Amino acid sequence: MPTKFIVVLGSIMSGLGKGVVSSSIMKILDMYNFKVLPIKFDGYLNYDCGTMNPYRHGEVFVLDDKGEVDMDFGTYERFLNKNLTSSSSITGGKLFGSIIEKERKGEYLGEDVQVIPHLTNEIQEKVKDFAIKNKLDFVVIEVGGTVGDIENGYFIEAMRQLSLKEEVIFVDVTYVPRLKTVGEQKSKPTQSAFRALMGMGIMPNFLICRTDGEMSEGIKKKLAMFTSLDENRVINDPDMDSPYQLPQYLIDQNFDKILLNSLKLPNKKINKQKFAKWSRDVGKITSKDGKNITVAVVGKYVELKDSYVSVKEALMHAAGKLSINLNIKWIESELLEKSDPSVVLKGIKGLVVPGGFGKRGIEGMITAIKYARENKIPYLGLCLGMQLMAVEFARNVCGLKGANSTEFDPKTKYNIIDILPSQVSIKQKGGTMRLGAWDMVIKNKDSIAFSSYNKKVVSERHRHRYEFNNKFGKTLENSGLKVTATTTDNKLVEIIEWPIGFGVATQAHPELKSRIESPAPLFLSFLSASKDIS
Ligand code: GLN
C-alpha cells in the first residue's frame, strides 16, 4: 500500500495537546497493525532543542541515537512503545542548514534559492524518504506551533503541496472555549481558525475540539455547518484524567472507521488483543482503587510541569502497575533552602530528585536528600539526583565538608562530581554532552540495581557533562555507599546505592524509556519501597 500521510495542525493557541492527538492516532493505526511512525516539524531555528531552556520549552527528550528532541517525542514513544530516531525530527534549523549547505555546494547553481519551491521541496523529500526508508503504511506528521505563525507557514505550505501528489489527511486540533459567565461553548474562534486554514489552501478532514466537557449537539452541528464537514468528523477531545484515554475516546466516536473508510481501507480490523491490552493498562493507570501514596519530586523547574513530564509519566506507569493511587507533590528546591524540611516534606513516602543544570536550587535538593536518608524515606535520584546523592553522602556521612560538583563550586576541595574528561576540551555547546543510549554493567546481584533490572547489562539514555569522580570512590565506599553499576569499560559510575534503607540513583535518565507497557525498573522498585513503608 502506498504510504498515507496524516498531518496534525493546531489552531487558535498552543498547548492543546497536538502531541497527544498525534500519538493517539498513531496508537490506533498501530492497533490496526499498520506500520506507522511520526515526523515532528518544529519551526524554531535551533538545530535541535538541546540548547533551549526547559523552563520555557519543557523537557528536552533524548533518543537512543543521541538526538535531543522535543518533548512530544516522549509522548510518541510512550504511546507507540517504540524507540524513535532523530530522523523523525525536522526543525527549521536543520532545514535551513541543509539548504545553505546545498547552495554552497552549488546544487542550485544559477537559481535564486527560495522558500517556495526549494524549502518546501526539501521538506517533502525528507518526508517521503522517511516513509520509503521505513517502509511505512502511515506517517503522522505533527506541525509544531499554531496555524498563522510565521515560523511554521512553510511547513504547512509544503504539506499542501504534498497533498496534491499523495494521499494526505489533515486533522486540525482546535479549541472550543466555554464562557464561564454564560456557561456556553463558543464556536467563533474555530470558525475564524478554519477560515485561516482555508486561506492557506487547506481543507481539514477532521476537527478535533479541545473542550472542558463534551460539546453539545448544537455546537457540533454549528461547527460542522461552518466548516463544511460531516458532523461525525467534528470530534470531542475533552479534558481527561489521563492522556492515554484519548485513543479509546477517538474510537468511541468512530474516528478510526471514518478515517479508514475515507482512505478506502474499510475492511481493516482492529487487533483485538492489542486493543484489550492497552485498555487494561490504561484502566490500571486511571484507577483510583489502589493504596494512596504521596511522593515528592524536588526539582528546580517544577513551576512548568512540562519540564519533568517523563518523570511524571514514569511514576504513573509504575504506580499503575503496582496498584498505587499516586499523589505527586512537586516542590521547588529553593523552598527547602529557606524552610524546615520536616515541614515541607511531611507525610511523603518517597523522594525523587530529577535532572537539572546550574547552581540555583542545588542546596535545597541536598537538604531533601539528607532528610530522606536520615528518615529512611525511599529515594530515587536521576542524573543530577545521583550526583547530589553522592555529594550529600560525602558531606554528611564521610565528613568531607564543602564537597560538591565543580559545576556548582569550581573551587571545591572535594570535587565528588567533576567534568567528564571527554568534555574538557569541548567548546561547542549544541549536541556535545554525553548523550543517548549507553550500556551499563550491574556489578553485584545483591543490589537494588540487579533486583530491579534482573539482568547484568542494561541500556539507558544519558544527557550530562559531569560524572562521579572515581578519586573519591574508595572513601565513599568505605563509609558504605555502594557503586552497583558502571559503564562496560568500568570507567564511569552509573548507579549508586545507600547502605541502609532504600536509596538508589543513576547517572542515566531511566524515565525516558518508561512505557505504560513496561514501566522503568528503577521506578518500580522505588514505588514498591514506598508502598512497603506506607
Ligand atoms: N548538570 C549535570 C551534568 O551535566 C546533570 C545533568 C542532568 O541532570 N541531565 O552532568
Give, in order, the Cα–Cα distances in Å from 108 to each of 94, 101, 115, 128, 367: 18, 10, 13, 21, 59
- Please check whether residues 330 and 408 belong to one and the same domain: yes
Residues 23 and 68 in one domain: yes
Q: Which three cell numbers stand for residue 37?
A: 511512525
How confident is the model over 347-352, as a mean pLDDT?
98
Please tell me if the CB atom of residue 78 comes closer than 6 angstroms to any atom of ligand 1: no
Indicate if 277 and 327 belong to the same structural domain: no
Taking 90 as the threshold, does the pLDDT of residue 56 lie above it? no
How far is the C-alpha of 416 from the C-alpha of 384, rounded, in Å? 13
Residue 134 lies in a domain: yes
Q: Is residue 473 part of a domain?
A: yes
Same-domain status, 497 and 479: yes
Which single residue is written with the C-alpha cell 543490589?
A: 447
- Give the integer Cα–Cα distance in Å for 504 and 448: 7
Which of 132-146, 358-372, 426-440, 444-458 is predicted with the least confidence, judged by mean pLDDT? Answer: 426-440
Shared domain for 401 and 263, answered yes or no, is no
Residue whose Cα lies nearest atom 8 of ligand 1: it is: 355
Residue 426 banded pLDDT, cuts 50, 70, 90: confident
Same domain for 276 and 359? no
Question: Which one-letter amino acid corresponds to residue 278?
Answer: W
pLDDT-derived band at 57 (thresholds 50, 70, 90) equals confident
What local confidence, expressed as pLDDT, does residue 58 receive? 87
> From the CA atom positions of the chain, what is the Rg in Å?
25
Does residue 226 form part of some domain?
A: no
In this prediction, residue 76 carries a pLDDT of 98
Asked if residue 117 has a cis previous peptide bond (ω within 30° of 0), the answer is yes
Residue 180 located in a structural domain = no
Residues 264 and 387 in one domain: no
What domain range is 143 assigned to? Answer: 4-170+242-248+257-282
The residue whose CA has the least distance to atom 7 of ligand 1 is: 355
CATH number at residue 360: 3.40.50.880
Nearest residue to 147 (alpha-carbon basis) of 194, 208, 114 = 194
Q: Mind telling me the catalytic residues?
A: 383, 509, 511
Q: State residue 486's pLDDT score.
A: 98
In a domain, 507, yes or no: yes
d(CA 256, CA 134): 23
Residue of 391, 432, 464 best suited for mutating to test ligand 1, as the one with most atoms within 8 Å of CB: 464
Instruction: In whole angstroms, give the CA distance from residue 209 to residue 16.
Output: 9
Band (458; pLDDT cuts 50, 70, 90):
very high
Proportion of the chain above pLDDT 90, given as a percent = 92
In a domain, 217, yes or no: no
Are 269 and 390 members of one domain? no
Domain count, the chain: 2
Of all protein residues, whose CA lies closest to atom 6 belonging to ligand 1? 464
Looking at the domain assignment, is residue 145 inside a domain? yes
Quick one: pLDDT band at residue 62, thresholds 50, 70, 90? very high
Cell digits for 176?
A: 472550543
Q: Roughly what angle, to the nearest 10 degrees, separates helices 120-133 and 153-165?
A: 60
Do 418 and 354 share a structural domain?
A: yes
Ligand 1 site, residue 463, Cβ cutoff 6 A: yes
- Report how far residue 275's alpha carbon sits from residue 151's, in angstroms, rounded to the nearest whole number: 37
**Residue 201 domain flag:** no
Ligand 1 atom 3, closest CA: 464
465 Cβ below 6 A of ligand 1: yes
The CA 277 to ligand 1 mean position distance, Å, reads: 36
Q: What is the pTM of this model?
A: 0.96
Are residues 264 and 352 both part of a single domain?
Answer: no
**Does residue 319 share a domain with residue 402?**
yes
Give me the CATH number covering residue 52. Answer: 3.40.50.300
**What whole-number distance in Å separates Cα of residue 272 and Cα of residue 251?**
13
Average pLDDT over residues 310-327: 97
pLDDT at 295 over 90: yes
Task: Give the three cell numbers for residue 26.
Answer: 498513531
DSSP per-residue letters across 211-242: ESSPPPHHHHHHHHHHHT--GGGEEEEE--S-
Closest ligand 1 atom to the C-alpha of 356? 8
Helices first, then strands: H and E counts in the chain: 18, 23
State whether the beta carbon of 284 lies less than 6 angstroms from ligand 1. no
Residue 468 bridge partners (DSSP): 417
Is the same domain home to 406 and 444? yes
CA-nearest residue for atom 9, ligand 1, is: 355
Ligand 1 atom nearest residue 407's Cα: 1
Q: Is 361 in the pocket of ligand 1 (CB under 6 A)?
A: no
Given a cut of 90, whether residue 54 has pLDDT beyond it is no
Taking residue 489's Cβ as centre, other Cβ atoms within 10 Å add up to 8
Q: Is the dihedral of CA 490, 494, 498, 501 positive or negative?
A: negative
Q: Is 356 in the pocket of ligand 1 (CB under 6 A)?
A: yes
